[in-house]
Structure 1
Amino acid sequence: MFSGVTGLINRGQKLKGTVVLMRKNVLDINELTSAQSASGIIGGAIGVIGGAIGTTVDTLTAFLGRSVALKLISATSADASGKGKVGKQTFLEGVITSLPTLGAGQSAFDIHFEWDTDMGVPGAFYIENFMQVEFYLVSLTLEDVPNQGTIHFPCNSWVYNSKLYKSDRIFFSNKTYLPGDMPAPLKKYREEELVVLRGDGTGERKEHERIYDYDVYNDLGNPDSNARLARPVLGGNTTFPYPRRGRTGRKPTKTDPKSESRSDNVYLPRDEAFGHLKSSDFLVYILKSASQNVIPQLQSALPLVGKTEFDSFEDVRDLYEGGIKLPTNILSDLSPIPLFKELFRTDGEQALKFPVPKIIQVDKSAWMTDEEFAREMIAGLNPHVIKVLKEFPPQSKLDKQLYGDNTSTITKQHVESSLGGVTVEQAISNNKLFILDHHDPLFPYLSKINKTTTKAYATRTVLFLQNDGTLKPVAIELSKPNPQGDNYGPISTVYTPTKQGVDGSIWQLAKAYVVVNDSCFHQLVSHWLNTHAVVEPFIIATNRHLSVVHPIHKLLLPHYRDTMNINALARNVLVNAEGIIESTFLWGGYSLEMSAVVYKDWVLTEQALPNDLLKRGVAVEDSSSPHGVRLLIEDYPYAADGLEIWGAIKSWVEEYVAFYYKSDAAIVQDSELQAFWKELVEVGHGDKKNESWWPKMQTRTELVQTCSTLIWIASALHAAVNFGQYPYGGYILNRPTLSRQFMPEKGSKEYDDLAKNPEKVFLNIITGKKETLTDLTIIEVLSRHASDEQYLGQRGDGDNWTADTAPIEAFKRFGKKLVEIEQKLIQRNNDERLRNRYGPAQMPYTLLYPSSEEGLTFRGIPNSISI
């Protein structure tokens, strides 16, 4: 079959190579999501697949012709200009592995290079694609290179038609070099490649480009469509500071020149985009189709299927047990979509039902207990907000001239009856009082929020650490603005635990208002801001200033996988004006704006887990502890498990950094590292550039701490706040996202109704049925692991990511340590003395188990923020 091709090649004394590549994924996410309806999307997918089958032979034939050419570049022999000598153009030859099935991926090709001995050792290569369609270049491997043996070139990049590039695409071998150690013949190539990646900061970016640049968050609104959809610019100003996002260069809106126009397909540097045989392509396709097609159809169907509100807790449980019967036309549109196939019953009932959330799998009412309410503050979805209470009553940092006196109205009389004979002073002295404080970030926005269909309170919850290690809520304060104006201070009411009668129902509602605030803070701050948004500038700065052969680039690369893509998708359908978040969470149209206000207090160094625990006062320094801190709440699942993961990450980074940097002077002399850090601070997080807490990046200690913190944020922290969304929040009674009415007051009809039908009143106040369907549909997707997820301690490129043996061995030790940690965490969860680890809901804390299977598993730490 290949004789016509191979006969053209005079092999002689050549270097033999193998090129591995992947043709364009036929299930291309951008093509699929361009359809306008659920049925249209499915039809589009079928069309793409059919077209791909028809062109498989043509594509293969093209590869076997003169369509892909490579040229080796010497790392040891330079031309007159001082750059490494470039070898002769060589074309791919025959396929040496079986043709992959549709969408399966990789094909391998022979290639033979003419390479005289005076050309030295190859260290890079150029590649040219003469076809119209792009392909994903996985790697080149050279065999039997004189005095070198095998040389690997990890590529993992999309290659488009050569005419689209201003300079040839270049790839380097897996040897790792600090800038000063780079072989002289390759230095210019290294510098030129970084110039290409930085671009010139002008023009609208095109799909094939690989340019990394910064912009502010000015694409959330759509003022040209409707004035109601205008949103303030986040970033670049002191009012709403924000991390930078990737620049797309789209035209400004006509209505507001400071805002960027929106489009369905958002530019990403090509290698940041999904499309590499990743099943999360399909997850994201589902997410996008759900938000644009499925959810609107489900919501429009509600009036056709009966009640548009829940009447009882049993109604809510029917979402998982009985389902919602849908009209035939809705079913026909939705049933072909893979995710929704799982949601449809197959017993002839044709109802839509959701998986049973873990929080009610064992006990349907455990979520109502005070113990579970408190336990989730240290082992739930938002486990890193609770703080030790050091002053009583709790204080506020809000400006008194603007917002009056916001000192808490919780008194000793409110709490001391629940402290088991201990005084407030004694409890504070012994670190027994804690607080979940959702007051200051929310109060300045309450007047605005309460003018909408939602009704909110700023909340403070005081908790007592009991002798059995569990937390007990002892008081909840609900505060709303004074009708005379915010500057008059809040009107506050304090509620204390009661289990019986109307007062018991009031207490249950008070807890619900707290959880609504916690749900919003979790989604917009703990999750979106503190993981997704703050990491994106690191990705941009890394690619602009750290070469692919730089050791720190190689260290951090796995922890960037797919983050820019999921962030772009979020700006399009999740955090945009009247998107999923604004439509279903209390903060509404102020959601991202409020996260910007909280970002004013963000400090990178405080994101390291030990520093975070110390700042919140839930731990104290202890040199005898393995991690340098001792927990005040000994049975604190998130913190205890997190410290194990943090310790493993830091040890791995310490070994890695020590291998490449033999002194602090090497850090200072690393021109790429210094340029990376300067731009990250001054541009990527430029609204905070004048804050003194930034590390100076002058020592190995600073580099280790910074890289460890970044890896922690992108892996374990994100896992802790993301993959429990459906297990905890899939049961809307446990994690409501909205409050639609104020607390019933004595003498009101609602108060009287509490005695007759407390469940109905509760449901009328929290998230409604329409918003619940939206929430469940989205968070189930966001809580799933893809089949090809890469978890902490794993790398997708095996051992070929570096040519240095010591870092590879250190990484293997890191992986083995994580396996040991997982076994330790399993043992902890089997210790029934640790009541916070399983709680009334019998729901062991597994979110920081490093490994996972595919799907909705409630465990697993991916390397990166990939969903």
Structure 2
Amino acid sequence: MVRNYKVTVYTGERACSATLNSVHIKLVGTDGESDRTWLNSMMICGGSASTYDVCCTKSLGKLVLIELDKRHCYLTPDDAWFPDKVEVKSPEGNIYIFPIHCWICDRETHRFREGKALRIFDESHSLGEYARQQELIQRKANYGWEEESPGVPNCIEADGPCTLPYEVQFSFTKDTEFKFTAGAAILELELKGLEFCTENWKSLDEMKHVFSNKHTQLSDFMQDHWMDDGLFAYQFLNGVHPTLIQRCKTLPKNFPVTDDMVFIPGGSNLSNELKQGKIYLCDYKNLDGMPANIIQGIKQYLMAPLVLFHKRPDDKLMPIAIQLKQIPADDNPIFLPTDSTYDWLTAKIFVKSADFSEHQLNAHLLRTHLLAEVFAVSLLRKLPMVHPLYKLLIPHTRYTLHINELARKQLIGPTGLFTQFAASGGKGLTMILARSLSSITYRSLCIPDDIADRDLQDVPNFYYRDDGLKLWNVVYIFVQGVIKYYYKSDDEVQQDSELQTWIRNIFEHGFLSKKETGIPQSFATVSELIKFATMVIFTCSCQHAAVNNGQYDYGAWMPNTPITLQRPPPTKKGTTSELTMLQTLPPIDVTVQGIAAVWLLSRQSSDYVPLGHYPEDHFTEKTPRQLQKDFKDKLDDLSKQINERNKDLEIPYTYLDPKTIENSVAI
């Protein structure tokens, strides 16, 4: 008797997702398999759902997997096809869903498992075990590791984004918009004659018209108020680098600030304020001794300053002392707000230039982009699509490998913008990255632990902390629900060999087997797995948004965030002026290249996916899908709370509003 299986093929809605090639399918079950059946490709259109009949002479039993292949005919081009999923209704009335969500662009046979998540010890059929093994063998071939530089996390083995597998490349929409944004910025600079102008700025007013129509409300505010001490301090809490400042109860021995140097309102003194926990420190020791770049034949300057802040009775944080080099000396004065206007301003400019390098290379590049890449490559190499953790984490890897390959070519490569124009570019770049990796700890990647370790639980007006802790909690509850649905006991976690191989791969290739980082080498408990998966999602979405999305807001006005400085810091007080400041700031061409870069890196594409949105249905079971919905609802509620709070703020903090956070490191 003929058994008829109804097969519905769903093709993605993205650009160029349809195919004119011949598509074939084979159904494979516990009791047999169908013939390889041709599907009419003329019905396979972008965003379509096309239904076909696959006839068999007997029941196939429980469906385990499907096989898909695509062959071009003599008169049709060999194109790529992006199926979202295949749904099969058996003669018995059972519905099987096979998630795909990837490009098929070759003539090979591709196997896809039924959508129910399975751990390796759940496999009960030899066909499933075989398909699992073959998938990982192919993925290891497609996603190899490469050592880019000693002491730096390993990266994907590739020669530019175009050599990456199709499934991890930008969409046509994303690629087109990215290139247009970059091209439009450079064209505007060329038309204004700024791109190749190596002269120094003659005045601050000249800088106000670099881009005529690229303004944000905050970038304009920064332009008008960047000299204010309060705004200077505010940025270390709520700007793009809120992860360095810490409470200071004992001054570092190399920062000899005394009571008689600083003015404390209300009749107190520095010693008392230290004891009461009202003093805070930013220490750029990570940059100490790093060689500064040579740009256009001119030696640049990169300092490793120490900055002291005081929380006043009105809860406002203010800078009270700056030392620009780590070793105290007569030619390394401690600058104070009571110094001359340009002495104090010049000191703050050197701090913000150092902050640019520490932020870009450590907080941004290393701790979000490079770690997200490690998480992505390990996931693709070690966990098959049917694994529950793959389904949980794969949405948070979207476009990461592509954007990082672009960065290696266009930003931090030998001819990249950062290499050519940043003080920390060139030889210092990889040295800073290696030193930064050696300072990473697992606790510093988990915001509740990081805030506690920096002793910042009660600092007022710290919106990065407030929103970040709430986001961590929402992500944690979601992850906990999903993982506890699949792992009922610690024994099951320990028994999952794929899971253990995955975390070991991250430890070895991401953290170079450094035990002192505290990164787990294996998972012994469900709670350990929950915390680590929460950290991965938070890093790839929330943390990246916090250190990325405000780059143009705070960097469009160059004196607030100089990419480099071309004169040494003053060695004595009373030697600065507006002229020396302008001569210290980067020249015109370096300035505009830096601003163009932060403009590009702050632009979201029209196809970005906000945190908590899952347009691709990797999970098919009811419980995890409901958990995804609950996750999105909680994020929507948090977004409303943040927007309500922001109404009363002079500078709204928006970077951790869930609606502005992308699911992955994609820009």
Report the Cα offset of residue 290 of structure 1. Answer: 7.2
Of 484, 500, 506, which residue of structure 2 is paired with 1:658?
484
What is the aligned partner in structure 1 of residue 101 from structure 2?
156
What is the aligned partner in structure 2 of residue 332 from structure 1?
none
After superposition, the CA RMSD in angstroms is 2.9
Mapped partners of 1:443, 1:638: distance in 2: 27
What is the aligned partner in structure 2 of residue 644 from structure 1?
470
Q: Post-superposition, which runs of at least 4 consecutive aligned residues in structure 1 deviate over 6 A?
A: 447-451, 745-748
Mapped partners of 1:137, 1:527: distance in 2: 32
8 Å CA contact 1:642, 1:848 repeated in 2: yes
Report the Cα offset of residue 426 of structure 1. Answer: 2.3
User: Is the alpha carbon distance of 1:358 and 1:735 closer, same or farther for their aligned partners in structure 2, counting shifts above 3 Å?
Assistant: farther
8 Å CA contact 1:20, 1:137 repeated in 2: no
What is the aligned partner in structure 2 of residue 463 from structure 1?
309
- Which letter maps to 2:86? T
What is the aligned partner in structure 1 of residue 353 from structure 2?
516
Secondary structure (helix, strand or coil) at the match of 2:299 reads coil
Mean Cα displacement is larger for which, 589-598 or 723-732?
A: 589-598
Residues 1:377 and 2:258 are matched in the alignment = no
What is the aligned partner in structure 2 of residue 774 from structure 1?
593
What is the aligned partner in structure 2 of residue 848 from structure 1?
656
User: Is the alpha carbon distance of 1:527 and 1:493 closer, same or farther for their aligned partners in structure 2, counting shifts above 3 Å?
Assistant: same
User: Is the alpha carbon distance of 1:693 and 1:246 closer, same or farther for their aligned partners in structure 2, counting shifts above 3 Å?
Assistant: closer
Q: Which has the higher contact order (CA 8 A, sep 6+)?
A: 2
What is the aligned partner in structure 2 of residue 118 from structure 1?
59
Residues 1:247 and 2:147 are matched in the alignment = no
What is the aligned partner in structure 1 of residue 175 from structure 2?
281
Mapped partners of 1:645, 1:318: distance in 2: 38
Report the Cα offset of residue 287 of structure 1. Answer: 6.3
Matches within 5 A, 1:673-692: 673-688=499-514
What is the aligned partner in structure 1 of residue 87 from structure 2?
142
8 Å CA contact 2:7, 2:52 repeated in 1: yes
What is the aligned partner in structure 2 of residue 15 from structure 1?
5
Mapped partners of 2:169, 2:249: distance in 1: 47
What is the aligned partner in structure 1 of residue 628 from structure 2?
811
8 Å CA contact 1:410, 1:477 repeated in 2: no
User: Is the alpha carbon distance of 1:89 and 1:701 closer, same or farther for their aligned partners in structure 2, counting shifts above 3 Å?
Assistant: same
What is the aligned partner in structure 1 of residue 449 from structure 2?
611
Mapped partners of 2:191, 2:257: distance in 1: 44
8 Å CA contact 2:332, 2:571 repeated in 1: no
Secondary structure (helix, strand or coil) at the match of 2:321 reads strand
What is the aligned partner in structure 2 of residue 53 from structure 1?
none
Of 97, 112, 120, which residue of structure 2 is paired with 1:171?
112
What is the aligned partner in structure 2 of residue 30 from structure 1?
none
User: Is the alpha carbon distance of 1:600 and 1:490 closer, same or farther for their aligned partners in structure 2, counting shifts above 3 Å?
Assistant: farther
Residues 1:535 and 2:372 are matched in the alignment = yes
Matches within 5 A, 1:141-290: 141-147=86-92, 149-162=94-107, 165=108, 168-184=109-125, 185-199=127-141, 211-217=142-148, 234-235=149-150, 241-248=151-158, 267-275=163-171, 277=172, 279-286=173-180
Report the Cα offset of residue 695 of structure 1. Answer: 5.5
What is the aligned partner in structure 1 of residue 531 from structure 2?
705
Mapped partners of 2:354, 2:623: distance in 1: 48
Secondary structure (helix, strand or coil) at the match of 1:586 reads coil
8 Å CA contact 1:495, 1:510 repeated in 2: yes
Report the Cα offset of residue 270 of structure 1. Answer: 2.9
Mapped partners of 1:825, 1:611: distance in 2: 22
8 Å CA contact 1:696, 1:702 repeated in 2: no
Secondary structure (helix, strand or coil) at the match of 1:742 reads coil
Deviations 1:260-297 (A, max 9, x none): xxx6655323311113x5x3212332467579x75995
User: Is the alpha carbon distance of 1:608 and 1:790 closer, same or farther for their aligned partners in structure 2, counting shifts above 3 Å?
Assistant: same
Percent of aligned positions that are identical: 25
Mapped partners of 1:528, 1:384: distance in 2: 14
User: Is the alpha carbon distance of 1:387 and 1:691 closer, same or farther for their aligned partners in structure 2, counting shifts above 3 Å?
Assistant: closer
Report the Cα offset of residue 605 of structure 1. Answer: 3.5
Secondary structure (helix, strand or coil) at the match of 1:525 reads helix
8 Å CA contact 1:477, 1:493 repeated in 2: yes
Deviations 1:623-646 (A, max 9, x none): xxxxxxxx2203211001111111
Report the Cα offset of residue 409 of structure 1. Answer: 3.1
User: Is the alpha carbon distance of 1:181 and 1:146 closer, same or farther for their aligned partners in structure 2, counting shifts above 3 Å?
Assistant: farther
User: Is the alpha carbon distance of 1:647 and 1:116 closer, same or farther for their aligned partners in structure 2, counting shifts above 3 Å?
Assistant: farther
Mapped partners of 2:435, 2:48: distance in 1: 50
Mapped partners of 2:206, 2:86: distance in 1: 60
How many residue pairs match? The answer is 660
User: Is the alpha carbon distance of 1:457 and 1:298 closer, same or farther for their aligned partners in structure 2, counting shifts above 3 Å?
Assistant: farther
Matches within 5 A, 1:178-577: 178-184=119-125, 185-199=127-141, 211-217=142-148, 234-235=149-150, 241-248=151-158, 267-275=163-171, 277=172, 279-286=173-180, 294=187, 297=190, 308-320=199-211, 353-362=212-221, 364-392=223-251, 394-395=252-253, 407-415=254-262, 417-438=263-284, 440-445=285-290, 452-479=298-325, 491-498=331-338, 503-577=340-414
8 Å CA contact 1:548, 1:554 repeated in 2: yes
Mapped partners of 2:458, 2:308: distance in 1: 16
Report the Cα offset of residue 830 of structure 1. Answer: 2.7
Residues 1:70 and 2:25 are matched in the alignment = yes
- Which letter maps to 2:619? T
Mean Cα displacement is larger for which, 150-159 or 429-438?
A: 150-159
What is the aligned partner in structure 2 of residue 621 from structure 1?
none
Secondary structure (helix, strand or coil) at the match of 2:324 reads strand
Residues 1:862 and 2:647 are matched in the alignment = no
User: Is the alpha carbon distance of 1:449 and 1:555 closer, same or farther for their aligned partners in structure 2, counting shifts above 3 Å?
Assistant: same
Please, which runs of 5 or more residues in structure 2 have no aligned partner? none
- Which letter maps to 2:385? V
8 Å CA contact 1:695, 1:702 repeated in 2: no
What is the aligned partner in structure 2 of residue 635 from structure 1?
461
Report the Cα offset of residue 145 of structure 1. Answer: 2.2
Report the Cα offset of residue 161 of structure 1. Answer: 2.9
Report the Cα offset of residue 319 of structure 1. Answer: 2.4
8 Å CA contact 1:358, 1:728 repeated in 2: no
Mapped partners of 1:745, 1:662: distance in 2: 64
Secondary structure (helix, strand or coil) at the match of 1:598 reads helix
- Which letter maps to 2:258? T
Report the Cα offset of residue 818 of structure 1. Answer: 0.6
Residues 1:764 and 2:591 are matched in the alignment = no
User: Is the alpha carbon distance of 1:735 and 1:148 closer, same or farther for their aligned partners in structure 2, counting shifts above 3 Å?
Assistant: farther
8 Å CA contact 1:476, 1:494 repeated in 2: yes
Mean Cα displacement is larger for which, 153-162 or 544-553?
A: 153-162
Report the Cα offset of residue 150 of structure 1. Answer: 2.8
8 Å CA contact 2:168, 2:401 repeated in 1: yes
Residues 1:786 and 2:632 are matched in the alignment = no
User: Is the alpha carbon distance of 1:463 and 1:172 closer, same or farther for their aligned partners in structure 2, counting shifts above 3 Å?
Assistant: same
Deviations 1:665-691 (A, max 9, x none): 000001110111222223343342575
- Which letter maps to 1:187? E
TM-score by structure 2 length? Answer: 0.92
8 Å CA contact 2:293, 2:300 repeated in 1: no
Report the Cα offset of residue 721 of structure 1. Answer: 0.7
Mapped partners of 1:778, 1:847: distance in 2: 19
TM-score by structure 1 length? Answer: 0.72
Report the Cα offset of residue 537 of structure 1. Answer: 1.6
User: Is the alpha carbon distance of 1:790 and 1:692 closer, same or farther for their aligned partners in structure 2, counting shifts above 3 Å?
Assistant: closer
Mapped partners of 1:303, 1:186: distance in 2: 60
Mapped partners of 2:160, 2:518: distance in 1: 40
- Which letter maps to 2:609? Q
Secondary structure (helix, strand or coil) at the match of 1:632 reads coil
User: Is the alpha carbon distance of 1:747 and 1:594 closer, same or farther for their aligned partners in structure 2, counting shifts above 3 Å?
Assistant: closer
